[in-house]
Amino acid sequence: MKEKILVTGAGGFIGHHMVRFLKKKGYWVRGVDIKYPQYSPVDEADEFLLLDLRELQNCLIATVGIDKVYNFGANMGGMAFVTNVKAEVMRDSALININMAEACRINKVKRIFFSSSACVYPEYKQLETEVIPLKESDAYPAEPDTAYGWEKLFSEQLYTNFQSDYGLQVRIARFHNIYGPEGTYQGGRQKAPADICRQVALAGSKDKIQLVNDGKQTRSFCYVEDCVEGTYLLMNSNYSKPLNIGSDRLVTINEMVDMVCKIANKKLGKEYHPGPQGVRGRNADLTLCKKVLKWEPRMSLEKGLEKTYKWIDNELTKNHVAKGKLQAYK
């Protein structure tokens, strides 16, 4: 018989890509979220339930008859959002994780995947642009730079203790800046790749791309299809400790803007404003991931950005957004 899989956060970016991936693998999939997917059909899942997972009863409903859970449910957004919205992010995401862990215990779910984040890593290791890639062991002594990162670190410990005390099998990935088509690109919760693609798509020849600080802050970025493949391999492995899933190619935000401008065949300037940039530099050490999963990302950043840009540009055109009228920086 097919394993029955629950994907929480299935109305969100990585979650609905995971639903699609699992269905292609032949699994029976139940999607759950507080909202329907914005950019993909609800019926990609065999069943889709609208449930608020901050309530234990709803988590119990979601996990009935389920063999494995991919838990992407969280209150989150880009740096501007998680910097300004702290208590809500911690409260909502912690409630989801506490209730999901307990529901899995009660309903005897075999295994749960938790989507943690590179935001768990300490700020003191990320103060320079030419940052040393972060190993999994670098998470402690702990000093995340955001409330979002602290909640992720707490939830890693929560699931680890449910594993040791109750035998719930746990798999944990620390995602490093996942991007791609069918994700949020406007409204305040978007992350850097989508925001840059939107700005470039909307820009006229005299517009300048609006960036935080000097644009020299560095990150590595992983394409969403690579991410879900790595997640699937981790879920089906015997490895139960946190594991980096991401890319180890470090680029500046300025370089990313130049890449997107080249894709769009536009020559645009840049304008800088003070604002939350997060840590100065962050990169993933994939040594352990390559060893454990025999996995590394395959999509180049240039090709992934091209796919992302074309999708966002098409969405803006489809929604009749006027080009050449770049919104003022906020």
Can you tell me the distance from the alpha carbon of 221 to that of 302, in angstroms, rounded to the nearest whole number?
Answer: 11
Distance, in Å, from the CA atom of 243 to the CA atom of 228, rounded to the nearest integer, reads 14
Q: Among residues 70, 121, 124, 148, which one is catalytic?
A: 148
Q: Which residues contact 324 (CB under 8 A, 6 or more apart)?
A: 202, 203, 204, 205, 207
Element (H, E) at 267: none
Tokens 């700020």 sit on residue: 123
Our CA dihedral for 214, 182, 187, 35, rounded to 10 degrees, sits at: -140
- Residue 148 annotated to the active site: yes
For residues 287 and 135, what is the distance between their CA atoms, to the nearest angstrom?
A: 8
Closest alpha carbon to 199 in 213, 182, 185, 215: 185
Residues 47 and 30 sit within 8 Å (Cβ to Cβ): yes
Catalytic residues: 148
